[in-house]
Amino acid sequence: MQRIAKALVSLLLVFAAGAAQAQSYPERPIRLIVSIAAGSVTDVIMRRAGAELQQKLGQPLIVENRGGAAGILGAQTCAQATPDGYTLCVIYHSTMSYNPLLFDKLPYQPEDLTPVTRLFFLTEGLFVSSEIGINSVAELKAYAQAKPDGLNYATLGDGSFPDLFMRWLNNQWGTKIVGVPYKGGGPAAQALAGNQVQVTRFGVGNFMGMIDAGKVKALAVSADKRSPLLPNVPTFKEAGLGGYPGQGWWGLAAPKGTPQAIVDKVNAAFVAVFADPTFNKFLEQQSVVAAPTTPAGFAAFLQEDRKAAEILIKLANSKRETYKAE
Among 203, 221, 239, identify where a domain stops: 221
* Residues 6 or more apart in contact with residue 138 via CB below 8 angstroms: 239, 240
**pLDDT digits over 46-62, tens only?**
999 999 999 999 999 99
For the segment 244-257, the average pLDDT, to the nearest whole number, is 91
Any domain includes 10 = no
pLDDT > 70? residue 11:
no
Any domain includes 1 = no
Any domain includes 3 = no
Q: What percent of the chain has pLDDT over 70?
A: 93
For position 103, what pLDDT does the model report?
A: 94
- Residue 205: what residue type? G
The CATH number of whichever domain residue 34 belongs to comes to: 3.40.190.150
Residues 183 and 157 occupy one common structural domain: yes
Any domain includes 325 = no
Question: Residue 221: which H helix or E strand, with range?
Answer: strand 216-221
The CATH number of whichever domain residue 198 belongs to comes to: 3.40.190.10
Among 176, 204, 221, identify where a domain stops: 221
Residues 134 and 270 occupy one common structural domain: no
Q: How many domains does the chain have?
A: 2
For position 6, what pLDDT does the model report?
A: 53
Any domain includes 14 = no
Any domain includes 77 = yes
d(CA 97, CA 107) in angstroms, rounded, equals 15
String of DSSP letters for 27-91 = SS-EEEEESS-TTSHHHHHHHHHHHHHHHHHSS-EEEEE---GGGHHHHHHHHTS-SSSSEEEEE
Question: What is the CA 116 to chain-centroid distance, rounded?
Answer: 15
Query: Is residue 45 classed as helix, strand or coil in its secondary structure?
Result: helix
d(CA 279, CA 49) in angstroms, rounded, equals 8
Single out the residue of 64, 71, 67 nearest to residue 50, CA to CA.
64
pLDDT > 50? residue 160:
yes
Any domain includes 234 = no
For position 14, what pLDDT does the model report?
A: 47
Question: Do residues 288 and 121 lie in contact, with contact meaning Cβ atoms separated by under 8 Å?
Answer: yes
Angle, CA of 278, 301 and 38, to the nearest 5°: 55
Q: What percent of the chain has pLDDT over 90?
A: 75
Any domain includes 284 = yes
Range of the domain at 150: 124-221
Residues 70 and 212 occupy one common structural domain: no
